[in-house]
A and B are shown apart, each in its own frame.
Chain A
Amino acid sequence: MTEQIPGIYDPCGIVEVESSPLAHRPDTENGLRLAVLSNTKWNAAKLLRATVRALTEQGLTFAAVQHYDKEHFSSPASDEVIDRIAADNDIAITAIGDCGSCCSACVNDGVRLEQAGLPTAVIVTTEFEHEARLQREARGMADLQLVVVSHPISSLTLEQLDGRAVEAASQARAIWFATAPINHVSQQAPSA
């Protein structure tokens, strides 16, 4: 090991990861097949359904909307689920990264879906945005954009979730269709 400073040993070592590019973005916004991957955390499915509603209210139309569940929110989705989603869909959205392990797993799922060719919107909360950014870099996809909504999600009412869904919908569109970045909620924003 080369010691950059004499007498100092860096105990961290290097991260040997190959960078992968994002998936190619679609040429059209409408008529796509949307995969909705819920990690089964409390309110994840409700948030995702509300986001899909918000997207259609904003004028987006889908050829199909297909729902999938992960086996466990603290683990990455199985290869089988990723392969099935990639085979049958054009774009994807997944939630919710509102805890440490589920945020890490959601980001990992997003990276794998992008690698499989699907532009993917990964929804995390403000408290986990920093972790999500570190995690995407560790997986070699620093360009993976995130949907960030105000924390918390698990304790919200349906009405409050609708508000988060509006935040998520506009960010998801920007991620799928690579339009100009939308300013998302920062950690300083008050929660509803």
Chain B
Amino acid sequence: MTATDTRIDHQDLVEYYFDQRWSDGLPVVPPTPHRVAAFVDVLGGDPHHFEARIPPRWGSLTTELLAVNMVMAGCKPEYAPVVRAAVLALTDSRFNLNGIQATTHVVSPLIVVNGPMAREIGMNSGGNLFGSGNRANATIGRAVRLIMLSVGGGIPGELDKSTLGHPGKYTFCIAENEQESPWAPYHVEHGYAPEDSTVLVIGAEAPHSVTNHISDDPQGILDSIASAMSTIAHNNAVLGGSCTVVLGIEHARTIANFEWTRDDIRRYLWLNGQNLWDAVSYGNRYAPPGGKTYNRNLPKWYPREDGRRVPIVFTPDDIHLFIAGGTAGRFSAFLPGWSTATTPVLRAIDDSVVPAEGGDLQCSDGACRL
């Protein structure tokens, strides 16, 4: 490619972006001045505005770079506020994007959108929630990943050392199904007004499907979800942290018919999503002879005795609950998290919106705000 080439045809451009390692393995949309400008306009008009530094490379993300990566991902300009809010949430120090990018674990940031914005830009909160086919879901998640790859330097084998990865590292973005949910949405549970739009970013493994087509009561359904939680296979079991539960619509309706609240669900799951200490400690097989495995990553108040059970996360508030998916099929999903080294971050898409303080809350799950 010489400086005298003034035109590169489209297919050569696609190949060129592949060759520079500016792709997630799929073809990108080559940016043009016109396409980039459309996004910069939506984002406030100043291409040089500093947005954030993206670890672990600590590249400086400007508004123009945000636009470039969104064009490459195939976004529409109207998605820009969501992508920006997600990036700002990810670069909140509490999230520890540096660790999430670098880890050998599979974890990838899951982006959950709440509020009217999700509907306005045509996001999917229903059937095939985690699957393909919706432009907003697919490209918002993809734009965030491309930023993490390029600006953040999270290139596999270099600063991204994930041993296995998971498909969510292509894209991992959903909306809660607020219309079909029997309860207040997640963001209202966490202090926002229903008319606010928010993004949550949370480190998550790939969804583990939970089937239950038999139970017609809350306990039966939630026992199935708890069984998916009660394993030492995931990071939460040995490292704590936060996790995600996506309750399917049929399951949600059954549970709501018994007048259970979001709070009841999370507390039941916390109480029943447990492992025997014998399993968590690997039976003391790797402790010094005659000694016991302590595991200082778990809190000092966990009962470290054979036969006792310990929860997979330290509090019910570490279970982040969403109601979503299609209206037919008795399935829910459990998504383990990474560890206590990351905290999920919830952020309004409009910077001027702040959540309510707890003082005026008459309810624990936001229902009174509806």
List residues of chain A with CB under 8 Å of any chain B CB. 1, 5-17, 40, 72-76, 99-101, 103-105, 108, 127-128, 130-131, 134-135, 138-139
Closest Cβ of chain B to A100, distance in Å, is 3
Kindly state the separation between the CA atoms of A105 and B55 in the bound complex, as whole angstroms.
Answer: 12
27 inter-chain pairs at a CB distance below 8 angstroms, sorted by A residue, are: A1-B47, A5-B8, A6-B6, A7-B7, A7-B13, A7-B32, A8-B16, A10-B20, A11-B72, A12-B22, A12-B59, A13-B150, A14-B59, A16-B53, A16-B60, A72-B341, A74-B96, A74-B339, A74-B342, A101-B100, A101-B105, A103-B161, A104-B98, A105-B98, A131-B102, A134-B158, A135-B159
Give A49 Cβ to nearest chain B Cβ, in Å: 13
Query: B150 near A104 (CB under 8 angstroms)?
Result: no
Centre residue among A8, A16, A108, A139 by max chain B CB count within 10 A = A8
Min CB–CB distance A148 → chain B (angstroms): 15
The answer to whether A103 touches B102 (Cβ under 8 A) is: yes
| Stretch of B63-71, B174-182, B308-316, B325-333 at the chain-chain interface | B63-71
B60 and A11 form a contact (CB under 8 A): no
* Chain B residue contacts of A72, Cβ below 8 A: 297, 339-341
Q: Mark B153-194, 1 if CB is under 8 A from A, else 0.
A: 100011111100000000000000000000000000000000
Q: Which residue in chain A gives the minimum CB-CB distance to B20?
A: A10
| Smallest Cβ-Cβ distance to A105: which chain B residue | B99
* Chain B contact residue count (CB 8 A cutoff): 54
Q: Known: A5-B1, A7-B13. Is A75-B56 also a contact (CB below 8 A)? A: no
Question: B7 to A138, Cβ gap below 8 A?
Answer: no
Report if A134-B153 is in contact (Cβ < 8 Å); known contacts: A14-B59, A15-B58, A101-B102: yes
Residue from B1, B72, B98 with most neighbouring chain A CB atoms (10 Å): B98
Q: Are B22 and A99 in contact (CB under 8 A)?
A: no
> Could you say which residues of chain A place their CB within 8 Å of the CB of B69?
11
Chain A, Cβ-Cβ closest to B338: A74
Which residues of B have CB within 8 Å of A76?
98
CB distance from A61 to the nearest CB of B (A): 29
- Contact of A138 with B162 in the complex, beta carbons under 8 Å: no
* B102 proximity list for chain A (CB < 8 A): 100-101, 103-104, 131, 135
What chain B residues lie within 8 Å of A15 (beta carbons)? Answer: 57-60
Q: CA of A74 to CA of B153 in the docked complex: distance in angstroms?
A: 18
Instruction: Return the chain A residue nearest B61 by Cβ.
Output: A13
Q: Is the CB of A13 within 8 A of B62?
A: yes
Interface on chain A toward B: helix, strand, loop, or mixed SS? Answer: loop
Contacts of B296 in A (CB 8 A): 40
Contact of B162 among A73, A74, A100, A105 (CB under 8 A): A100
Interface: B141 (CB within 8 A): no
Q: How far is the CA of A72 from the CA of B298 in the complex (A)?
A: 11
Task: Report the minimum CB–CB distance from B93 to chain A (whole Å).
Answer: 10
Instruction: Give the nearest-CB partner of B155 in chain A.
Output: A134
Contacting residues, chain B, for A14 (C-beta < 8 A) = 59-60
B253 vs chain A, min Cβ distance (A): 39
Closest chain B residue, CB of each to CB of A40: B296
CA distance A100 to B102 in the complex (A): 5
Closest to B295 in A: A42
Q: Are B59 and A104 in contact (CB under 8 A)?
A: no
Are A131 and B99 touching (Cβ within 8 A)? no
* CB closest chain-B residue, reference A5: B1
> Are A131 and B158 in contact, CB atoms less than 8 angstroms apart?
yes
Q: Bound complex: CA of A134 vs CA of B296, how far in Å? A: 30
Contact A130 B158, beta carbon cutoff 8 Å: yes
Specify which of A99, A100, A131, A139 lies most central, judged by the most chain B CB atoms within 10 Å of its CB: A100
The residue on B at minimum CB distance from A140 is B58
- Give the complex CA separation of A160 and B227 in angstroms: 39
Q: Which residues of A contact B58 (CB under 8 A)?
A: 15, 17, 138-139
User: Does the CB pair B151–A12 fall under 8 Å?
Assistant: yes
Known A-B contacts: A100-B103, A100-B105, A134-B159. Give 15 more (CB < 8 A): A6-B5, A6-B6, A7-B8, A8-B13, A10-B20, A11-B65, A11-B68, A13-B151, A15-B58, A74-B99, A101-B98, A105-B98, A131-B102, A138-B56, A139-B58
